Structure formats: structure tokens, C-alpha cells
Structure 1
Amino acid sequence: MPASNAANVRSIKIVIVGAGSVGVTTAYALLLSGLAAEIVLIDIDTNRALGEAIDMSHAAHYAQARVRVGDSYDDCAGATAVIVTAGVNQKPGQTRMDLVKTNYGLFKSIIPQIAAAAPDTILIIATNPVDVLTHAALKLSGFPVERVIGSGTAMDTTRFRHELGKQFGVNPRNVHAVIIGEHGDSQLPVWSLASIAGMRLRDYAAQKGIPYDQEVMDGCSQRTKDAAYEIIQRKGKTNYGVASVLVSILEPIITDGDALVTVSRVGTYAGVDDVALSMPCKLNRAGAHQDVPLLLDEKEKELLKQSAESIKEVLRACE
């Protein structure tokens, strides 16, 4: 880490609201990353949160960061970012949208308190359904649009690259492909722009001397969409992947890194206005910025519109 960024980290405070499995795993991943000097956990169950903080403080001996429990939302004051993971978790057989009424009601309580205590912070929303709740957090906080960011399809994009990497026999970091739209069932892969080594996937397969089968490719995107359902069915929750993704969203914010990440942000998409969904955004210390629109083909534009409209329908039901 450059010296200027290392100096900046010494003043970084990150608050995590919700000390469930995602919140605690995120705190631990953040602790080991060395990106923050202070990590604050806020949870309704302060005793359990304290136990987690004490346990992590033993790891902090090696990571050189302070982990503590906040007494109230006033502890959000001075935070560079506040990550919200609080809410009811998705259960086997549920969709993310099934959680909306309970978690929307919770946000009406907690988001105004966070905004009042930390008016200059960046809100990072991880609670599902993340697109609906990113929109809710923007309205309830009164923050500028760039300072309310949903984790969105950053996790789906990571899973998608993992699937394509396995299929083509390359490291997922060398796969350039994104999932956009809803973090949910209407998400869509951008096949028209997916590439490896600067070549479209079909061209890369031809150069490598392997067949390109769109049905196999569609299987990769379907496994991406179904991944959370499978994990929840097997272990009851997802936490490691999303925690790593949340830290990857935080890093360019803390370091002013200008990294492109597929996150959820309120805007107008495919002609549908005032809706949150995921597109590649530039992340830096000012928040999330949509500088360059994707060059989608006509089919992808239509699928994006359908995704936006499905989210908008849920938003109408909440209002």
C-alpha cells in the first residue's frame, strides 16, 4: 500500500450495522485487510456483538486495528462508511424479494438515525432485497445518490467470473464479464462484452481450439443465479463471499482507487427512472459514479428494462 494510503488508513473508521453472520464475517475480513483503524459493530443484541468484538480483538493484535461495539447509532459519527447488513436473512425456498416488507420496515427505523449521526458518510447496503433497500436508504437518508451504494451484483459478477474461469481453464481474474440488473432472479449476464485476453469468448474458444457452446455458457449464468439458493439450502446462509465483496467495495472508497465495480445505485435504466440496480460504477472516496454507459446489444437492453421494471414494481408496493 502506498505511503499516502497507509497514512489515510490510520484515520479510517468503518461501522457495521448488524452483527449477524454477514456483518461479523465482513468485520473480520476488513480487520485482516488492514484497510481500517477502527471497526465498530452495532447490533440490537449487544451482548453477542460484544462477544464477537472481544474475539476479533485477539486477531487485532496481529492486524493493528481496534474492534469495538457501539452503544448507539451515535457511534456512526465520523465513519468513512457505514455498512448495513441488519435484517432478516433469506431462508431456504425464499427469494430475496420475499424479505422486503420486514427489512423495509427496519430501514425506516435505522437509516435516519445513521444519517443524523454521520451526515457525511457513505452508506453501503448489503441487506436483501438489496436494490429495493438501496432505493429506500437513499430516500430515508437524504444523501446524494453517489453516497448510497448497494452491494448489488458485485457478488454475482464474482461468481460469474468464477464459473467462466472454470469453463475456459483460466484464473477468474483474467475473465472480464459482468452481471447487471437486479441482484436476484431478473439479473442478466452481458454476453456481448464478455472477454478473456481481450477477445470475445467465442473468439477466445476458437483461438484455444475448444468448442463454444451457448447452452454451456447459459449454464454458467444459471449456476451464478442459483448459487445463493444452493448455498442457503446446504448451510443456511451465505457469508464468506459477500464479506469479501463488501471489503472489495470499501477498498477503492478508502484509498480513492477509482475501481470499476458492479454495484447498485439509484438512477434511470433502460427508460425506467428512479430505480436502483447494478451497473459498473467507478468507486472512490466520493462514492459511486456512473461515468460510461455499457454498450449493450438490443436483447440485453430489453432484459435490463425487464429487470428494472420488476424492481420498480416492488418499490411501488412498498410506498
Structure 2
Amino acid sequence: MSSKITIIGAGSVGSTIAYTLSSQDIASEIVLIDINKKKAEGEVLDIIQGTCFRDPISIIAGDYEDARDSDIVIITSGIARKPGQTRLELTQTNVNILKSITPEIVKAAPNALYLIVSNPVDIMTYVFTKISGLPENQILGSGTILDSARLRCGLSEHFQIAQSNIHAYVFGEHGDTSFIPWSGAYISGVSVDEYYDLEKKLGKDIEPIDKEAMLQYVQKSGGEIISKKGATFYAVSSSVCKLCSLLVSSSESISTVSTMMHGEYGIDDVCLSTLTLVGPNGVQGKVPMRMTKAEIEQLKKSADALKEIIAQIDLN
């Protein structure tokens, strides 16, 4: 698989994405760009010295012009979230950083697919969509793909079943107003509630799932990791690399990524995560999932929370 991927930002997340990509067969060229050129050079040197154990790959610390002809551009730049700080408190500072980056990178790579990872990711995806001038199909945010991975991890541990058998998702904001549409949570075609009943019939010693506790596990995992080790970067990097693999695949896949809403579920002019069809041509559209009225209201509540913040930020 031959593709060129540029990563903007050589912090913990950006450099871990570069390292993870270097050990997989997703990219043949990786460009790492950071305002701190020496930091980017150090990360690249550390990564490339381990690539003798794989097929040849090009990894450089570059400038914006080196992003030319990129298939994918990943934007991770921004100030990291501090312990006790919400993603939304980062907003204006990281928006300002994005505004300085956008014209430079879009000029160099106008045809790339853009994957926004910087937090707060839904607002950053919205801002990039508004200021980049690019077609919307070229833009997606990592959204709740990590939240959904955390949910699958939690459900796997609860039911003692392989994560690959679990199809359950987190919708809405990547943050405090996210929610789990349990009406669409399945374990190999069986609803979560039905699966619990099945396990009991099979004599398994299993407790009913505490759905509110599971949501708290999903929402609070990032903060817990930050409080214990200072930052989160392994799982988010794995999630981003998975998205990259979808974007260079020969067929399309469905994922919970953050994209602009155009009336779906009665929501417009905001970026958040629902089931979305993505592939080599970028975002192809939303996949409507049947939800209860209460779940749709939760999605609207998440949208309203994001719109409230968007109304307060300076896009000019």
C-alpha cells in the first residue's frame, strides 16, 4: 500500500501516530511537521532507526511544502489538555493555532483528505471546515472513534467476549455530552440486553450491565489517564491509524467520525459523531441508525452544547 501521510504536530499524539504508522503498511511516506523543528527531527530520527525491521519507508521532518501530494494530512497541533481541564476550555487557543496552520497546509496539499485530531476535536473540525475552503468530503475529525473503542473495551471486559464481536458506538461530542445509543448496541447480532439473558441461561456468572457506569467509564477514561500519566496518546494514535487505513482502503467502511451535519436527526451546522461512511474518497455520507426519541434528544443536546461554544469563539 503506497500512500503519503503528513502529520502536523510532533507532540505526544503526533509522534506516536508517526511511530505507529511506521510499523504498519499504511504509508510509504511520512512527513512530520512541527513549529519546533528540532523536536520533529528528534522524533523522526528515533522512529526511522527502528524501520530496518520492516519494508523500506520514507520518514522526514519537513516543512509545509514537503506535504505536497499527500494523500492524508493529520492535524494534531494544539495545547494539551491539563489535569481537571475539559476539552472545551482549550477552544480559543487551539482554534487560533489551527487558523495559522490551515492556509499553509491547504496551499501545499489541496487534494489531501484531512483528519483533524486536535481537541476539542468537534469544534476544530467545524472551524477547519469553515475556513479551509475545501470540499466537505475531504474533512473528518477523529470524533468518537476512541470513545467507541473504549466502550468496546469496557463491554468486552464485562461480558468476557472478544472486542471484535461487539458492535456498539458512542455518538455526539467527543466529550462530556457524548452518549451511548444502547438501542444500537449488539454483540454479534444480539442486543446487549439479550446477550446478558443468553449468558445467564448458559450458566455464566455475570452481572447486569450498569449502563450509566459504562458511560462514565467511557467519558472519564481520558481524564483518569491524564491524571495518572500526564497525557493520552497510545489509544488515540491506534484509532487514528485505523482511520488512515480506512481512508486508503479499496472499499468503504462505517465509523463514528466527526463531520458536518446537514439536517440529519434534525441537526444542522455543527460537527459531531454519528455513523459515517468513509473510504478512499473521504466522507461519503451519514448512515442513519434507528434510535429512540430519547437518544435523538441526547444527540441534539450534544449538538446544542457544541453550538454554544462555537458561538463564543472568534473565527476571523
Deviation at residue 66 of structure 1 after TM alignment: 1.1
The structural deviation recorded for 1:288 is 1.8
Aligned to 1:75: 66
After TM superposition, give the deviation of residue 274 of structure 1 in Å: 0.8
- The answer to whether the 8 A contact 1:252-1:258 is kept is yes
Root mean square deviation of aligned Cα:
1.2
State the one-letter code of the partner of 1:112: P
Partner of 2:218: 224
Per the TM alignment, residue 213 of structure 1 is displaced from its structure 2 partner at its CA by 3.2
Choose which of 190, 196, 199 in structure 1 pairs with 2:187. 196
**Match for residue 53 of structure 2?**
62
Aligned ranges 1:97-112 → 2 under 5 Å: 97-112=88-103
The amino acid of 1:278's aligned partner reads S
Residue 79 of structure 2 corresponds to 88
Q: Which residue of 2 aligns with 1:178?
A: 169
Q: Deviations over 1:165-223 (max 9, x none)?
A: 11111011111100010000000101011011211111111111166635x22211211
Unaligned runs of 5+ in 1: 1-8
State the TM-score, normalizing by the size of structure 1: 0.94
Q: Aligned equivalents of 1:290 and 1:241: distance in 2?
A: 26
- Contact 2:9 / 2:76 at 8 angstroms: preserved in 1? yes
Alignment of 1:287 with 2:278, yes or no, is: no
On the 8 A contact 1:281/1:288 being kept in 2, the answer is yes
Question: Is 2:34 aligned against 1:43?
Answer: yes
Q: Could you say which residue in structure 1 is the equivalent of 2:143?
A: 152
Unaligned 5+ runs, structure 2 = none
Report the 3-state secondary structure (helix = DSSP H, G, I; strand = E; otherwise coil) of the residue aligned with 1:281: strand
Q: Give the aligned partner of residue 4 of structure 1.
A: none
1:277 aligns with 2:281: no
Partner of 2:312, secondary structure, is helix
Measured after TM superposition, the shift of residue 140 of structure 1 is: 1.5
Is 2:226 the partner of 1:235? no
Distance 2:39 2:268 in 1: 41
Number of equivalenced pairs = 308
Q: Partner of 1:3 in structure 2?
A: none
- Between the aligned partners of 1:316 and 1:73, the Cα distance in structure 2 is 31
- 2:272 corresponds to which letter in structure 1? L
Residue type at the aligned position of 1:126: V
Question: Does the 8 Å CA contact 2:72/2:114 hold for their aligned counterparts?
Answer: yes
- Structure 2 counterpart of 1:65, which letter? I
1:97-154 CA-partner distances (Å, limit 9, x unpaired): 0100100001111011111111100110000000000011111211111111100000
Task: Please say if 1:187 is aligned against 2:178.
Answer: yes
Deviates more, 1:167-176 or 1:129-138: 167-176
**Greater Cα shift, 100-109 or 253-262:** 253-262
Using the TM superposition, give the Cα deviation of residue 272 of structure 1 relative to its aligned residue in structure 2, in angstroms.
2.8
* Deviation string, structure 1 residues 54-113 (Cα, Å, up to 9, x no partner): 11111122232111011x211111000000001000000100001001000011110111
Letter in 2 for 1:272: I
Q: Comparing both structures, which one devotes a greater share of its residues to helix?
A: 1
Instruction: State whether residues 256 and 283 of structure 1, in contact with CA within 8 Å, keep that contact through their aligned partners in structure 2.
Output: no
TM-score (norm 2): 0.95
Aligned letter for 2:309?
V
